[in-house]
Structure 1
Amino acid sequence: MRYFITLLFFFTLHLSCAQTGTQTIETMQYDGETRSYIVYVPQSYTGQSKVPLVLNLHGYGSSMSHQISYGEFRDIADTANFIMVVPNGLLDVNNLRTWNYFQQNGPDDIGFLSVLIDELSAQYEINENRVYATGMSNGGFMSVFLGCNLSNKVTAIASVTGTMLNIHVNTCLPNKPTPAMFIHGTEDTLVPYSGNATFASVNYVVGHWVSQVGAYTSPQIFYMPNIVLSDSSTVERHLYSGGSNGATIEHFKIVKGGHSWPGASTDIDKTNYDIDASKEIWRFFSQYDRQTLLKISDNNQNHEVNIVPNPNSGNFTIHTSHNIDEVEIYSIEGKKIKSSSNYAVNNHEINVESGTYFVKMLINNKWKHSKIVVQ
């Protein structure tokens, strides 16, 4: 049985002169494990008004102590007045810290991070409409997984060098439009930009999140100034706008960049220094609050889609007032089983076998999602 203790120990770490806030290490018991995390509270925090919360997740084999300086947000928190938490993943069989976004029988990191948000919200004045998750590599994968499975608490996500498992992409259906940012190098050899048998390609993952928020499928592309020639890389910013309730998707394509955090103080693998990933992530996060993203906009109403009956016995009809340009159907495992285009308005029947399916529909250059059960 899970049990929870709010605080086991608490002490202040020495801070460099660059940061003015308070940094503490805390622990909790969750699912029989002692979970540790660093909390950074800016000096501007008074407890009189609610502030945002940023979860910052380390990569595989790294730790909270490394990530808090490698994926540096403390100076930004000082000026923007948000609280940051940097938790530790558990040790795996190789004695390396990791986040579990793929093992069904492994540690329940979704549950732990959910409870962690609750605990910090009880301990501090947290604006629960402004909770964000970011991370590096394995932590980036986990932040995306939170966007899929904890969107009732996480407002927006940003992943640096992390994508999604192929088996997760088409079964990821957040319960609200969830803005997402992906920062990835084209010469990343650990999580290849073009994907592999395990990891989905960056373009495919970005496309999924574009469809998830209903943004336009063609991005605006901005070529960032190449201010540091010595890093041998350049940056393209791809902005997908027009999503539900103002949600956008952003992708920073680091051309010739490696498996690294742009702007980091340590160059571990072809690090780009034309942008500061932490500053770009906060700029992105700061646009969004969950309450606004949950509103039903006129745009959503104009593109309303209903699938009936649901559940059904093998046939279903798609009702919409607009032309459906394309329909894709995926199994619960994420395998595409049907893809068709040029549907007529309103009624169209598709025969499938019994099971749970995910339906994606392209309507007026925007993707819409739905889940059906065939009995």
Structure 2
Amino acid sequence: MSMLRAQCNRFRFRNLGIAMLTAVVSTLLSTACPASNSEVRHASLVHDGISRTYRLFVPLNLSSSNPAPLVLVLHGGGGNGDKMARLTKFDAAARKYGFIVVYPDAYEKHWNDGRQGTSYTSMDTNVDDVGFLETLIGHIQSQFAIDASRVYITGASNGGMMTYRMLCERTPLFAAAAPVIANMPTDLVGACVPAAPIPMLILNGEEDPLMPWNGGEIAPDFPKRRKVFKGTVVSTEETVAYWSTWNACTSVGEKTYLPDADPNDGTRIWVQSHTGGTDGAVVHLYGVEGGGHGWPGGAQYLVESIIGKVSQDVDATELIWQFFQNHTRE
């Protein structure tokens, strides 16, 4: 059983960009726990002998009489929970719609998402991230009134791949999931044994230079000064087909384009839905034509020559929450 503990401290951080797939200079991370009248709490728990940290946002306007939904938001490689909060602005959505959001921190900034043969410590030493996230959910449920039928998970890049792994190994924990700029790791596909159907929203950029739309090696040329093997992924088409097949979807709709909200961003977003699955499970694929390795509606956190274009045609956070709120786990 994991030993749980909270630590209190104060900290300041600089406003730095998010790194999705490789270590970039990080801000100082605190395990501070602010006063109870603060919406943001930083805390830690010990799992498998390792102190694991996380950022928790609990809206002050949340009704204590009604169990709230819980959303897990997993950062990309090289990032942390604070950076992911700034990129996605899930705090504002939580305050607006009345849910709790937690941003866990990966061990040494990378999730053990099922890839093999990489140089990342969490993967090389097989850190138990699946167990950590499961324990974290239980810990939050012990502290707050959480609706267990409305626990959701999303993540970007390495966090998106970790989302897939959680669905492979702990499907019943979640009512729906939304991996962003992430395909399934090749090594994970053969080992994936979901326990239940799961509604999915997948959002990928067709011109992503780091997470290849058509599958293959992840970010082979980044960073240029220190090339390391980051594993391989299957294509977006294969990723969608896997979950559509698992969900036993019976119908595939036509591609439908969303309004071109920002004609100057060089992107267009389309959606194609796989429906008719077991217990109403669906898979919605949002493809970003011209889009790169970014969170739509978020910042251009690195230059276009490295990550490609970040679409402004949709707010991915709003899109994901609207999808989540339509699904519960029976």
TM-score category by the smaller chain? 0.7 to 0.9
**In 1, Cα distance between equivalents of 2:183 and 2:214:** 11
**In 2, Cα distance between equivalents of 1:134 and 1:122:** 22
Which consecutive residues of structure 2, in runs of 5 or more, have no partner in the other structure? 14-36, 115-122, 218-231
1:65 to 2:99 alignment: no
**In 1, Cα distance between equivalents of 2:2 and 2:164:** 26
**In 1, Cα distance between equivalents of 2:326 and 2:124:** 34
Matching of residues 233-252 of structure 1 within 5 Å: 233-252=267-286
1:163 to 2:183 alignment: yes
Displacement of 1:48 in angstroms is 1.2
Residue 321 of structure 2 is matched in structure 1 by: 282
Q: 1:265 to 1:272 in 2, by over 3 A?
A: same
SS at match of 1:36: strand
SS at match of 1:232: coil
**In 2, Cα distance between equivalents of 1:148 and 1:104:** 20
8 Å CA contact retained: 2:251, 2:276? no
8 Å CA contact retained: 2:299, 2:310? no
- Provide the aligned length of Structure 1 versus Structure 2: 280
Displacement of 1:260 in angstroms is 0.5
Displacement of 1:11 in angstroms is 6.5
1:213 equivalent among 247, 252, 255: 247
What whole-Å deviation, never above 9, does each CA across 1:19-72 have from its counterpart, x for those lacking one? x97011011111111111010011221321101000001000111111011122
8 Å CA contact retained: 1:10, 1:26? no
- What is the identity, as a one-letter code, of the residue corresponding to 2:328? D
Displacement of 1:179 in angstroms is 0.9
Residue 236 of structure 2 is matched in structure 1 by: 202
Residue 126 of structure 2 is matched in structure 1 by: 106
**In 2, Cα distance between equivalents of 1:45 and 1:173:** 36
Q: 1:212 to 1:13 in 2, by over 3 A?
A: farther
8 Å CA contact retained: 2:294, 2:300? no
**In 2, Cα distance between equivalents of 1:231 and 1:58:** 24
Residue 228 of structure 1 is matched in structure 2 by: 262
What whole-Å deviation, never above 9, does each CA across 1:341-372 have from its counterpart, x for those lacking one? xxxxxxxxxxxxxxxxxxxxxxxxxxxxxxxx
Displacement of 1:226 in angstroms is 0.9
**In 1, Cα distance between equivalents of 2:11 and 2:69:** 22
8 Å CA contact retained: 1:173, 1:212? no
What whole-Å deviation, never above 9, does each CA across 1:152-177 have from its counterpart, x for those lacking one? 21221111111111232244232111
Displacement of 1:218 in angstroms is 2.2
TM-score, normalised via structure 2 length = 0.80
**In 2, Cα distance between equivalents of 1:220 and 1:283:** 21
8 Å CA contact retained: 1:238, 1:250? yes
Which consecutive residues of structure 1, in runs of 5 or more, have no partner in the other structure? 15-19, 92-96, 292-375
**In 2, Cα distance between equivalents of 1:196 and 1:57:** 23
1:25 to 2:42 alignment: yes
1:263 to 2:297 alignment: yes
Percent identical pairs in the alignment equals 30
* Greater C-alpha Rg: 1
Residue 93 of structure 2 is matched in structure 1 by: 76
Q: 1:262 to 1:21 in 2, by over 3 A?
A: farther
8 Å CA contact retained: 1:233, 1:257? yes
8 Å CA contact retained: 2:62, 2:98? yes
Matching of residues 330-369 of structure 1 within 5 Å: none
Residue 21 of structure 2 is matched in structure 1 by: none
8 Å CA contact retained: 1:54, 1:133? yes
Q: Which has the higher contact order (CA 8 A, sep 6+)?
A: 2
SS at match of 2:255: strand
8 Å CA contact retained: 1:100, 1:142? yes
Residue 2 of structure 2 is matched in structure 1 by: 3
1:86 to 2:86 alignment: no
SS at match of 1:141: helix
SS at match of 2:216: coil
